[in-house]
Each structure stands twice: as C-alpha cells, then as structure tokens.
Structure 1
Amino acid sequence: MNDGNTKAVKERHSFTGIVSLLLIVLLWLATFWQGVVTAVDIWLITDTFNHCLFVIPASIYFIYLKREQLALSAIEPNYWVLIPCIGSGGIYAVGLSGGVQLFMHIATFTFLPLSVWFLLGNTQAKKILFPLFFILFCIPIGEELIPVLQEVTADLSVMMLQWVQVPIYRSGLYIEIPEGRFLVAEACSGISFFIASVVIGCLYAYMNMQSRIRRISFVIIAIIFPIIANAIRVFGIILTGHLTNMEHAVGADHLIYGWVFFSLVIICLIGLGELIREKSSDIVADPKFVPTEQTLLTGYVKACGVLALLTIVLFIWYQVIQGQLSASTTPRKLNASILPAKPASKAWQPEFVDYYDQYQTNFSYESKKIDLSVVWYPKGHGELVSYANRMYLEDFWTLESSYSVNGPNDFKIEINQIVNSRNVRLLGYWYMVDGKVLSNKNTAKLYEIYKVMLGQHKGSGLVMLSMESEYSALEKDKRLFLEMLTNEFSTINQMFPE
C-alpha cells in the first residue's frame, strides 16, 4: 500500500513541475528582493510583526498537507491571472517611487500567490486557496489602525467607567480620575492583540471548520473580540488604580496585566471556536486529485517563459525608478535668511528622521510666540511622508481635534489642536512638493510619486507652525492663528529652494 501511494505521488508531482514552481519563486525573489528585505527588517525589529516570520513556513506546510489534492505534473496555467500580476507590479513601482513600503510589501506578497495560481491553474489553486493567500499575513500592516484603536479603546473604557460610577474627565486620549491621570497611548491601543487574534482566528477557522459560514463568523469574532477585550483591560487598569489609590496598575503592572490578559483572550477565543466548530463526525475529507493527463514540457516552458519575461520587464522598470531616486548632485538647503534663527522651543518639538535640512525658530505675532519648524527632503534624501515622522511627540501630546481653514487664495490649511496635562496648542501645517503647495499628506505623497514616475521630482518639504493657547481664550487664539498663517504664508514658502 505504501509503495502504491508513493508511486501515485510521484506521478502527480513531476520533476519538471517542481522545477517550474521553484523557478517562479526565484523570479519573485529576484524581482521583489527589496520588498522582501525591508519586510524582514520590520518582522525582526517590531514585536507586533514577529509572527510574520512563521507565515511562509506555515503556508508551505499547509500546501504540503494538500499534496494529494495537487498535481504538478498536470498544470493548467491561467494566463488571465497575469493581469492582476501586472497590477501588483505597478503597485510595487508606485511604492518604490514614493518610498511607501506598505505598497511595496502589498505588491511583494500578492505577486507570489498570484504567480503560483497562474502556474497551477484555477482547479488546483482552489485546493490551496487559504495557504496561498495566508501569505498576505506577511504584509506588516495594521499600525495605521493605532489611532482608531486608541479612540475606540478610550470610548469604550470611559463608557465602562461610567457604568461603575467612577468620576472621570476625558481630554483627547487622556482619562483623568480623582487619583491620577491615564493616557491611552499607542501601547494601549491593543494593536498587537488585534493582529495576533486575527491571524490565530484565521488559522483556527481553516484548520477546524469546513462550513464557509462558520469560518467567516469566527473570523469576524476574532476581529471584534480583541477590541472589546482590550477596552476591558484598560478599564480594569484604571479601575484598579482608582480602588488602590494608584498603588497598582501603573508602570510594570501594565506589561504584566497585558500579557496575562492576552493569554486569556486567546484561550477564550479558542473556546468560542470549539463551540462553533463542526463535530468530528460532520467533517468530510477532501478527495484525492487524480490527473487525467500530464502537461507537456512545452506547456511548462511557455508558462515559465511568459512569467520570466514579465518579471524581467518589471525588474528593469524598478532599476530605472531607483536611478531617478538617487541623488546625482548636492541639493540646496533651506533659505534660512528669510526669518532670523532663534533657539528652538522646548515646549513643542516635531520628530523627523533622515531629513536633509531642518530649520527651527520662533517669532512674535501680536504678542503671541509662534514656533516654526521646516523640514526639507530633496530628491534622493529620505522620505517626508512616513509613519516614522511625527509633527509632535506622542509621549507628551495627544490630538484633541483637527479642522481646516481657508488660507491665502482659499488654500485649505490643516490645523491640529493638541493637548497634554498642562497645555493646549494649535498646530498648522502644509506641504511643498516640487513647488506645489498641498495641505493633505496623502495628496502630497501621491503628487510626489507622480513626479518621481515622470522623472521630474526635485524635493518635498513641510512647514509647521505652533502656538500655545488656553481653553478660556481658545476661540480668540484660533482667529489670531489663522490671521498669522495667512500673513506669513508667502514669506515662509520662500525658504524652499527653487
């Protein structure tokens, strides 16, 4: 019996088919190596994405378990799948042009399963649909949800505190009780719990459930459950501080409660899965796939040749973009003579990395002190719109609200109202990309990418102005701040090189 099974496996998986599959993986690595390297760096550095290191090995293992439902000796390449492959390659080019690693990672880890789908064909790809697209969990994505999760966690925890009648006052992400003040910081957003719960939920649903409705229902539970659980965790920490007069639930206690609570969340999630999953008697094994006829060598050569041609074209395109992003000459710095240099304010400090030039000063306007910070990223020198760059230090400030005002020539200027335990500040900003003034960071990024792909990019900069205020005079200060922005707009923009 064992010899017969081994022979059948050999008939299903020919040497030519295995080589073709390995060739596709090598072409993927050679073309998207930069996306792979930057993703691995994030996996190793960021605890939130350590699980990504195990995603591809897990996918390979799940595909191996399905080996009897596959036949590499009888592939039916689906050339229509090349269309999304080309789209994926285009997304990578956009990410490379704008330095948007998220786009690069999305393209990198969608191109691989799509290319395997292309080679095997619809029938066989459907057999390993989950293992193929489980590879998408390699994409280090989710940190963009941190601000939303912070808000939701703060909202839910405040609601729970009101249920037990704890006196509270909320200002932005700060929650104050009579015994002390708490900040729903990034670490309190529960992003690590959320991502890990979703990954584990998807794995559990695939391994233990067959009904599509059951699987989808459990994945939805895996998305909602950690959000509610994290809000309960924050509520518990604040309530503990209230009941113990801040003797507990501060400092290292957060970490202890966090890891213990996370373990309980996963146990509860799996317990819910056990209630939802089918009984063992209801599970039906997948039938073995028996190929009717083997694919000729010319079929493999044609499929691999077409994909190789596509990846070579993409590789050349990416090298051209890389050449446009490199700095060929020494760029000019900011024109610091526009405004006199003064010591930077210690009350408000932005945080930017890899900039080519930065200028900070302050000046008086109608007896109010205005802090100015300008950063400059010329072609080939860093990335302006990046998650690593912050217009204020989030350990000291939190966003309370944001709004837009009409500046010169009806240009929309974005203003953030940021607060901490003692102060409230107004923070206005705008972007300068290749001589064009833009108010929104996403618009600025897209315009920068557009100019890079045309080979016309020169540089991008950001202007930030901040003024301290008080709640009692906030409306008056808002009008004064707008007047200042309107009057100083043109002068400040002259700081950027032409």
Structure 2
Amino acid sequence: MSKTTAYSWTYLLCSIPSKWFYGVRAHANSLRHLPNGWSRTLGYLLLLVLLSGGCFFGTWSSIIEIWARSKTYTHGFVIVPISLWLIWSRRDYYLRLVPTVAYSPLLAVLAGGFLWLCGDLSHIVIIKQVAAVAMLVAGIWVVLGHTVTLSLSFPLLFLFFMVPMGEELIPALIEFTTTFTVKLIRLTGLPVYRDGHYFTLTSGSWSVIEACSGISYLIASVTLGFVFAYLNYSHYWKRVLFMLLSVVVPIVANGFRAYMIVMIGHLSDMTLAVGVDHLVYGGVFFGVVMLLLFYLGSFWRDPPFTPIAIVPRKASVSSTPQQLAVSVLLLAGFGIWQPLAATLLDKQGQLALPAYVATQALGDWRQTADPKWLWEPKFPRAAEHSKAFYSDSHGNSVGLYYASFGKEEQGAELVNSENALVSAVESRRLRISATDTLAFALGQQTVTLNVTVLKENSGQVLVVMDSYQLSGEISNNRYWVKARQLVKHLSGDTSPELKLVLWVQPDNDDIASAKRLLTGFLTAWLKQQSI
C-alpha cells in the first residue's frame, strides 16, 4: 500500500468519528429548537418507552425471542423501523400539530394493564404481549393528546404487528389447503383418496403439514398489504378493500400453490417437487402472486395527499406541571401490575394433592397392585402427581392419576400442549386410533371428559379418559379451564387445580364396556369425594 493510500485511509477513519460527532450535535441542536414543544415531548416519549421496557421486560423479551427463533415472525424486527419511517416521511405535517397531554387515555393504560395481569395469571403469553403493545400505544396517546394521536393512528396501530400471533390459524389453513387442493385435483379428472390431511393419487401420497399451511405467506402479505394501502390510498374504502385482498389472496394462492406442486410431482412420476425443490417452486409462485397484487393495486392509487394541519383554536403546549403529573400517573399505571401479579400468584401454588386422592376403598372398589399395563400417564413438568389402581369384586381394574402443577411456570402449566397423553418416544409403539368426548350429569353439574383409544403395535388396546378438575367442577374445555383459573387467581381461591386421567385395558378390545366401567368408577369416586 502506498504512503498516499495509507494517508487517505487514516484521514478517512479519523474523520468519521468527528463527522459523526458534529452530525449528532447538529441533530441535537435541531431537536432543541423543534416547534410547539416537540423537543420536550420527544423526551417524555423516550422515557415512556424505557418505562414500558423496564416494567414489562420479560414480555418484550419473549416477543423478541420469538422473532429470532421463528422464521414466520422474523418480520417483527422491521415493524418499529417501518412505523418510525412512516412518521418521518410526514414529519413536516406532524410538527405543525401541538402535542397536549390527555388524561382520558389513562383508562386505556389501566385496561391494558389489567389485560396483561389476566394473561400473566392465566399464563397466556400472547395476551401479555398484546397488552404490552396496547399499553405502550395508550401511553403515547396520553403524552401526545387526541389530535396528534389521531393523525398518527396508522403508524401507532401498525405496532401491533410486532406481536407474534397467527399460529392459531394453522389448523384452519391446513384444512382449507387440503380441501382446496383435493377439489382442484378432482376437477382435473384425476382420482384421489383423502384421509384427513393426507391424500393419495395413483402416482403417490401427499400430506398438508404445518409448513404447507401458508401462514408465513399470509402474515407477510397482510403486513406489506397494510403498508401499501396506507401509502397509496387516501380513500378509506380503497384502503379497507386492499387490506381485505391482502388477507384473501395469499390464502387462495396457497391453495393453488399446493395444487401446482402436487401436479408437478404427479406429471413427473414423483421426481420433481417432492423434496426441497417444492419449497422453491412455492416461494417463486407466491412472490409472483404478491408482485401481481401490488402491481394491479398501483393502478388505483390516489394522487399524493398533502394534509393541512388544523390546530384547535385553544391548543397550547402542555405546561411542565401537567406533564410531570401525567408522568407520575403513567409510572403508577405501568408499575403496579408486576407486583400485583406476584402477590396474587404467591397465594396460589398449592403443591400438595388433596387428601382424597389417597382413598384406599370406594364402595365395591379397593386399591390394588399395579397391573403393569402397556401405558400410564406421565407429565414430567407436574409439581406433584399420584397414581393408583382399583379393582372391584368382579376383577375389573382401572387406573386413576392426578397431577398438580402448583405455582405454574411457562411451559409447566395445567393447560399446555406439552401435556400429551402419548410422548414422542411412546409414539413409536403407540398410536391414537380414536378420540371422542363424553358428558354425563352429576348432581348440578355436567362432567365432560376426553376419551382416547390407544393401540399398541402388537394390537393391544387401552381406553383413556382425561379432564381437568377445578373448584369442584370437571371439564375438558381448555378455554373454560383457563377462564376458571383466572377467576380463581383474581379472587384468591387457593383450591387445587388438577389434571385427572383414568384408564383401563379392556378384555377382548371391548371399548364400549371399558367406557361404561370408567364412567361408573368416576361417578362413584366423585360422589364419595363430594367435589
């Protein structure tokens, strides 16, 4: 490297920090001279963001962790930059508005806080995440006032796209994609046999799994579609119409994508589109569809709209005492929920199982030795569990299992998808051959249970019933259980929250008799315990 080149690089590297410093100082000076009290307001907004991050650090961390872990939600990293860019692109308009504190949105802050409390007590992460974003938006509303917040409504509401939600749509999307694909195949004139989400052609078999649901395409389309509609249309009906199209088009397009992949595989004798290459075909197809959607949408774009800032006649910058008062109220509105949740949860966490689970005799039933059946329930994250077997005078035996999760933690909750009857390891020798629900009246309540038939590779059958037991009621409805848990925690009710499982290995695979046996035992059990 020549001396001249070395000198040039040295000068450049040394000049960068000084240029950056002077640039930052210039921006800082310009911020101090913003009109209508914006410089002080921006300072309060920064403090609000720090307050939200500090009070709900765990919730915000969970959002970012999901962005980093799941490709479906990687877009979350660009939501805040996009929102800030949308605001920056119209900064001249916003700076003509006068930010004045508003007190009524404090109610929205409290409502968001209560929602977060409900999510924390019921261990539903997505509710906590939605609540954290809602509280931040409501806090901004308090600091900026009604007029400014209304003008910023889209960039602020766009922040809700940070919440990683949508996975609950996957089963419905899988069902739609399967049905849509099979119907198109039949319209093509090809014979196809469908079994659930699996279908078979003469050339081979296919299945629609989570990766084929199109959830990633849907989320990407909705996010981009909302921004496109906001930037290109000033008429609200056009915005709403394009937003709806950004929801419908990717769902239908994913159906055509699946059909296209199946037909490529079928016509190539299963040599194409049966491996990683089908992801490439699908990605290219979706990209073309989205480009076509945005291209067609551009034909109806409205001319650039230059809004005129209309400042209320008596609008004035909020005084320092007003802003300090609002700051104290926001500090309280954000800060009370974590301690309150900890206090309420400390009252819970009853680890010990109730005494009645150790009952030795029950009418005609007596506790007996383990018959060593081919399966028994296992919930590794349970805080405490109990297993017992009972037999009657006719030699019939049943298994009874209770599990308590005590002071629940994330991943160790009473209602959790991890609490499966058959683990991944057990699935190598066991499969679920049938599922059903059972309901029967007991006193003033209706007992509901899940009924599952397990079949071993050898052909041996087990009949399993499971449900949840809370506050004297038994229900298999997961949503009811979550709601009941929330009410219990808010009211300070410390009664046990239990997972209940009964099972039997029937003679001669007589499933109907096994159901009657389990129902009769459970009825006698519940009557004696007077739950």
* Cα distance in structure 1, aligned partners of 2:287 and 2:435: 35
Compared with structure 1, are the counterparts of its residues 56 and 155 closer, same or farther at alpha carbon in structure 2 (3 Å cutoff)?
A: same
From 482, 499, 503, the equivalent of 1:445 is: 482
Most deviating of 442-451 and 298-307: 298-307
Most deviating of 400-409 and 8-17: 400-409
Deviation at 1:318, TM superposition (A): 3.1
Deviation at 1:258, TM superposition (A): 3.4
Deviation at 1:37, TM superposition (A): 1.5
From 278, 286, 290, the equivalent of 2:307 is: 286
Higher Cα Rg, which structure: 2
Determine the structure 2 residue equivalent to 1:48.
Answer: 72
1:356 aligns with 2:383: yes
User: Contact 2:353–2:385 (CA<8 Å) still a contact in 1?
Assistant: no
Q: What pairs up with 1:156-167 in 2 under 5 angstroms? A: 156-167=180-191
Determine the structure 1 residue equivalent to 2:448.
Answer: 413
Determine the structure 2 residue equivalent to 1:386.
Answer: 416
Most deviating of 181-190 and 209-218: 181-190
Any idea what SS the aligned residue of 1:80 has? coil
After superposition, the C-alpha distances for 1:295-321 in whole angstroms (9 at most, x for unaligned) are 322221222222223223334323323
Any idea what SS the aligned residue of 1:431 has? strand
From 217, 234, 238, the equivalent of 2:241 is: 217
Most deviating of 8-17 and 444-453: 8-17
User: Contact 1:52–1:138 (CA<8 Å) still a contact in 2?
Assistant: yes
* Cα distance in structure 2, aligned partners of 1:340 and 1:226: 57
Most deviating of 398-407 and 158-167: 398-407
Compared with structure 1, are the counterparts of its residues 369 and 62 closer, same or farther at alpha carbon in structure 2 (3 Å cutoff)?
A: farther
User: Contact 1:407–1:486 (CA<8 Å) still a contact in 2?
Assistant: no
Deviation at 1:131, TM superposition (A): 0.6
Determine the structure 2 residue equivalent to 1:168.
Answer: 192
1:150 aligns with 2:187: no
User: Contact 1:172–1:398 (CA<8 Å) still a contact in 2?
Assistant: no
* Cα distance in structure 2, aligned partners of 1:301 and 1:70: 23
* Cα distance in structure 1, aligned partners of 2:50 and 2:305: 36
From 321, 328, 336, the equivalent of 1:305 is: 328
Determine the structure 2 residue equivalent to 1:180.
Answer: 204
Most deviating of 442-451 and 301-310: 301-310
Any idea what SS the aligned residue of 2:305 has? coil
User: Contact 2:432–2:454 (CA<8 Å) still a contact in 1?
Assistant: yes
Most deviating of 203-212 and 301-310: 301-310
Compared with structure 1, are the counterparts of its residues 344 and 461 closer, same or farther at alpha carbon in structure 2 (3 Å cutoff)?
A: farther
Which residue identity lines up with residue 413 of structure 1 in the other structure?
A: T
Per chain length, whose mean CA-contact separation is higher, i.e. which structure has more relative contact order (CA < 8 Å, sep 6+)?
1
Any idea what SS the aligned residue of 1:136 has? helix
Any idea what SS the aligned residue of 1:79 has? coil
Compared with structure 1, are the counterparts of its residues 398 and 111 closer, same or farther at alpha carbon in structure 2 (3 Å cutoff)?
A: farther
* Cα distance in structure 1, aligned partners of 2:181 and 2:451: 24
Determine the structure 1 residue equivalent to 2:259.
Answer: 235
After superposition, the C-alpha distances for 1:141-188 in whole angstroms (9 at most, x for unaligned) are 111111111111122112111111221222222222233332222222
Most deviating of 355-364 and 196-205: 355-364
Which residue identity lines up with residue 284 of structure 1 in the other structure?
A: F
Any idea what SS the aligned residue of 2:205 has? strand
From 94, 115, 130, the equivalent of 1:91 is: 115
Compared with structure 1, are the counterparts of its residues 12 and 402 closer, same or farther at alpha carbon in structure 2 (3 Å cutoff)?
A: farther
Which residue identity lines up with residue 317 of structure 1 in the other structure?
A: L
TM-score, length-scaled by structure 1: 0.81
Any idea what SS the aligned residue of 2:74 has? helix
After superposition, the C-alpha distances for 1:415-460 in whole angstroms (9 at most, x for unaligned) are 467999x999976431123553222111111111222223334553
From 256, 259, 280, the equivalent of 1:256 is: 280
Determine the structure 1 residue equivalent to 2:405.
Answer: 377
Deviation at 1:224, TM superposition (A): 0.7
Compared with structure 1, are the counterparts of its residues 203 and 493 closer, same or farther at alpha carbon in structure 2 (3 Å cutoff)?
A: farther
Which residue identity lines up with residue 24 of structure 1 in the other structure?
A: L
* Cα distance in structure 1, aligned partners of 2:297 and 2:379: 44
Determine the structure 1 residue equivalent to 2:301.
Answer: 277
Any idea what SS the aligned residue of 2:474 has? strand
* Cα distance in structure 2, aligned partners of 1:21 and 1:70: 15
After superposition, the C-alpha distances for 1:65-92 in whole angstroms (9 at most, x for unaligned) are 3322334993222222122221111110
* Cα distance in structure 2, aligned partners of 1:242 and 1:336: 61
Which residue identity lines up with residue 381 of structure 2 in the other structure?
A: D
* Cα distance in structure 2, aligned partners of 1:359 and 1:175: 42
Compared with structure 1, are the counterparts of its residues 118 and 236 closer, same or farther at alpha carbon in structure 2 (3 Å cutoff)?
A: same
Compared with structure 1, are the counterparts of its residues 189 and 296 closer, same or farther at alpha carbon in structure 2 (3 Å cutoff)?
A: same
Deviation at 1:207, TM superposition (A): 1.9
Compared with structure 1, are the counterparts of its residues 375 and 57 closer, same or farther at alpha carbon in structure 2 (3 Å cutoff)?
A: farther
* Cα distance in structure 2, aligned partners of 1:169 and 1:468: 33
* Cα distance in structure 2, aligned partners of 1:56 and 1:160: 41
Deviation at 1:53, TM superposition (A): 1.7
Compared with structure 1, are the counterparts of its residues 398 and 19 closer, same or farther at alpha carbon in structure 2 (3 Å cutoff)?
A: farther
Any idea what SS the aligned residue of 2:191 has? coil
1:247 aligns with 2:284: no
Which residue identity lines up with residue 321 of structure 1 in the other structure?
A: L
User: Contact 1:18–1:72 (CA<8 Å) still a contact in 2?
Assistant: no
Determine the structure 1 residue equivalent to 2:467.
Answer: 430
Unaligned runs of 5+ in 2: 1-26, 361-366
Deviation at 1:210, TM superposition (A): 1.5
Deviation at 1:198, TM superposition (A): 0.8
* Root-mean-square deviation over aligned CA pairs: 4.2
* Cα distance in structure 1, aligned partners of 2:83 and 2:518: 54
Determine the structure 1 residue equivalent to 2:344.
Answer: 321
Most deviating of 140-149 and 28-37: 28-37
* Cα distance in structure 2, aligned partners of 1:317 and 1:264: 51
Unaligned runs of 5+ in 1: none
Most deviating of 25-34 and 217-226: 25-34
